[in-house]
Amino acid sequence: MVYVQQLWLQNFRNYSEANLSISPGQILVVGDNGQGKSNLLEAIGYLGTAKSFRGIPADALIKQDCDNAIIRAEVSHTGRDLLVEVEISRTHQNKIFVNKQKISPLRNLIGMIPTTIFGPDDLDLVKNGPSVRRAYLDDLLVQLHPKNIQLRADLEQVLKQRNALLKQARGRLTDDIAVTLEVWNDKFHHLSHQWGKARQKIVNDINSFAADSYMELAGVPSPLKLIYDPEWLEHGLLEVLKLQEKDELRRGTSLVGPHRDEITITLSGLPARTHASQGEQRTIALSLRIAGHELLKETHNTNPLLLLDDVFSELDMKRAKRLLKLLVADQTFISTAIAPEETSEGTQIYINKGQIL
């Protein structure tokens, strides 16, 4: 069982001061647009992910004309009480403490508090380019298994170093560049293989949940599938890097690897990005988030904290009801301008100009 018991905010977004005691169950955060509903969910989401779920830089989370922002929360996690304290600063490194113990680096917080977040930009999972789908898989991987945090960081660092070398080469493969490039190629190959296999496994796991979720939400049996099968993973990255060497030297960047992979989504065997309707695409995105939620629940043996940010504005009554039926959590935060009938049993919190009423 995972839920927030107490939340304190100071100088976070449009909140000067906020203090909120919270019970398990459904919490409806209601208010007009621009009052701070999503900001409240953003603060709670930061506790589980160490970043803004809206992709906002850390210093933008600090209230205007202030030097730092504080998020402090008492969280119950499977019977254990956690005191999570976050300081986001303009002038020095951000800090996170759990039960007074500093978390360093900050990414090590990820996975400590399982959290599933639904947002209005989730449609980008289907409509936008592959980077959004890669981030969806990779963020889920690090929440599922803490070991993946370091693997992801190592892969990003090796890629950064390899790109710096390719840029330094300026299109010429000297003996020195060739020797160093071989070293980075070996490291890049080894880490990429591990990450690619992890992606393949999680795609298989997601497919088992996403198809059922889509059918439940849409009410019609339209097969939903994720496909991840990069050529380099089948043939070996070293071989593909050798074939791409001239182009990579000429362009000064790595042209193949996990950072370039596509994850294709199909609905009834057709690419969802180009063939699915807007309504179908939104249902697909919801199904993928539900699948991630189920995987987290299965891995951690507890229901993740659930945040639904302005999701109901895009759904009809039937799909909203089905979504809430599919999502099981010990604590669910729902931000909305108008409370839907399906949430009438929840605790309601009203937000006005950064004030919790």
Do 123 and 265 fall within a single domain?
A: yes
Omega before 105 within 30 of 0, i.e. cis: yes
pLDDT of residue 11: 97
pLDDT of residue 75: 95
The residue out of 275, 301, 327 marking a domain boundary is 301
Percentage of the chain exceeding pLDDT 70: 98
pLDDT of residue 324: 84
Do 147 and 207 fall within a single domain?
A: yes
Do 56 and 180 fall within a single domain?
A: no
For residue 357, pLDDT over 90 is answered with no
Cα(240)–Cα(232) distance, rounded to whole angstroms?
6
Do 157 and 286 fall within a single domain?
A: yes
Query: If you count them, how many residues does the chain have?
Result: 357
Domain coverage including residue 130: 119-301
pLDDT of residue 195: 98
**What residues does 80 pair with on adjacent strands?**
77
The residue out of 276, 301, 326 marking a domain boundary is 301
Q: Residue 13 is encoded by which pair of tokens?
A: 């977004």
Do 240 and 334 fall within a single domain?
A: no
Q: What is the band of 339 on the pLDDT scale with cuts at 50, 70, 90?
A: low
Write the single-letter amino acid at 276: A
Residue range 42-56, pLDDT digits in tens: 999 999 888 899 989
Cα(57)–Cα(200) distance, rounded to whole angstroms?
30
For residue 219, pLDDT over 60 is answered with yes
Do 183 and 248 fall within a single domain?
A: yes
> For residue 343, what is the domain's CATH number?
3.40.50.300
Q: Within 10 Å of residue 236's Cβ, how many Cβ atoms?
A: 12
pTM value > 0.75: yes
Residue range 4-58, pLDDT digits in tens: 999 999 999 999 999 999 999 999 999 999 999 999 999 999 998 888 999 899 9
Domains in the chain, number: 2
Write the single-letter amino acid at 22: I
User: Per-residue pLDDT averaged across 256-281, rounded?
Assistant: 95
Q: Residue 350 is encoded by which pair of tokens?
A: 């009203």
Query: Are the beta carbons of 265 and 228 closer than 8 angstroms?
Result: no
Do 106 and 171 fall within a single domain?
A: no
Residue range 184-204, pLDDT digits in tens: 999 999 999 999 999 999 999
Do 87 and 199 fall within a single domain?
A: no
Cα(108)–Cα(39) distance, rounded to whole angstroms?
23
> For residue 226, what is the domain's CATH number?
1.20.1050.90
Residue range 84-116, pLDDT digits in tens: 999 999 999 999 999 999 988 777 777 788 999
pLDDT of residue 49: 87
Query: Are the beta carbons of 335 and 37 closer than 8 angstroms?
Result: yes
Do 221 and 335 fall within a single domain?
A: no
User: Per-residue pLDDT averaged across 239-258, rounded?
Assistant: 96
Do 68 and 202 fall within a single domain?
A: no
Q: Residue 261 is encoded by which pair of tokens?
A: 């992979």
Cα(338)–Cα(335) distance, rounded to whole angstroms?
9
Do 127 and 274 fall within a single domain?
A: yes
Q: What is the band of 341 on the pLDDT scale with cuts at 50, 70, 90?
A: low
**Mean pLDDT (the chain, rounded):** 92
Do 313 and 332 fall within a single domain?
A: yes
pLDDT of residue 342: 57
The residue out of 286, 301, 316 marking a domain boundary is 301
Q: Per residue in 157-180, is it b (16+ CB within 10 Å) or e — as a string?
A: ebbeebbebbeebeeeeeeebeeb
